[in-house]
Amino acid sequence: MISILSWNIRQGGGKRTLAIIRKIAALKPQVVILSEYRNNKHGGSIRNTLLDLGYRHQIVTHADTDVNSVIILSTLPCSSTTYHLRKMDYDANLVKASFGIFDVIGVYLPHKKKHKLFDILLEEAMTDTPLIIAGDYNTGKNGIDQKGDSFWYTDELRKLEKEGMVDAFRHIHGDVKEYSWYSHQGNGYRYDHTYISGEVLPIVKSCYYLHEWREVGLSDHSPMVVEIG
């Protein structure tokens, strides 16, 4: 069984970093994707401590210390891809780990800003390699992943689905109402997703959120876990 944890840790973790590391260490997922990761001292603590715990394979960009980006850490051998050579805005917000039998892309997509990152995701979805795309998309489907219609990029999610990518949470749980982030007004939004290509879907065993981690203040987002095997 392979467990993939994706989690927006909110502005690099800050004073919550040690508690965040402890939770990850206790859960022991083989693959960890952290959104809003920062290349600062807190990010260094995450990398060094998880390295000691067996996460020898770490994929991160060279984003500035105050830039929210994404990192993949894995106990499983993998090769890495970053997208900085595209020379596009938010090029630190996607990284890819290739495990041979499938690829994993960690995402932290900008919130209500124009970007072309979905173009890259669509390109990746059209390749022959089975794919998992996980992290904070900062969007969802209007009327489904929120009560209102304020999401940008709903159409892009539907384009991913046309290329054979499946929302793992909906595959397991159907149309249940569950949210990974809440506004100060108490409105819920499902920003955090794992999309999986059809070749991998038959071995998806579970997909769920760890809401308690958000509720105790470790972040403002609930982590998502997908188990395949």
Beta bridge partners of 228: 2, 204
Predicted confidence band at 87 (pLDDT cuts at 50, 70, 90)? confident
**Torsion sign over Cα 198, 96, 116, 169:** positive
Classify burial at 226, counting beta carbons within 10 Å of its beta carbon; exposed 0-12, middle 13-18, buried 19 or more.
Answer: buried
Span 12-71, pLDDT tens digits: 999 999 999 999 999 999 999 999 999 999 999 999 999 999 999 999 998 999 999 999
Nearest CA among 133, 105, 101, 121 for reference residue 199: 101
CA distances from 119 to 125, 134, 146, 159, 218 (A): 10, 16, 24, 10, 32
Judged by average pLDDT, the poorest of 62-76, 83-97, 187-201 is: 83-97
Classify burial at 124, counting beta carbons within 10 Å of its beta carbon; exposed 0-12, middle 13-18, buried 19 or more.
Answer: buried
Average pLDDT over residues 110-120: 95
How far apart (Å, rounded) are the C-alpha atoms in residues 155 and 185?
A: 26
* Residue 61 identity: T
Domain that holds residue 141: 2-228
How far apart (Å, rounded) are the C-alpha atoms in residues 221 and 215?
A: 9
Span 179-195, pLDDT tens digits: 999 999 999 999 999 99
Specify the residue for token string 């760890």: 210
β-strand pairing of 204-209 with 188-189: unpaired
CB 154 within 8 A of CB 189: no
Predicted confidence band at 212 (pLDDT cuts at 50, 70, 90)? very high
CATH number for the domain including 36? 3.60.10.10
How many domains does the chain contain in total?
1
Average pLDDT over residues 124-139: 97
Q: Give the pLDDT of residue 85.
A: 79
Nearest CA among 56, 107, 48 for reference residue 78: 56
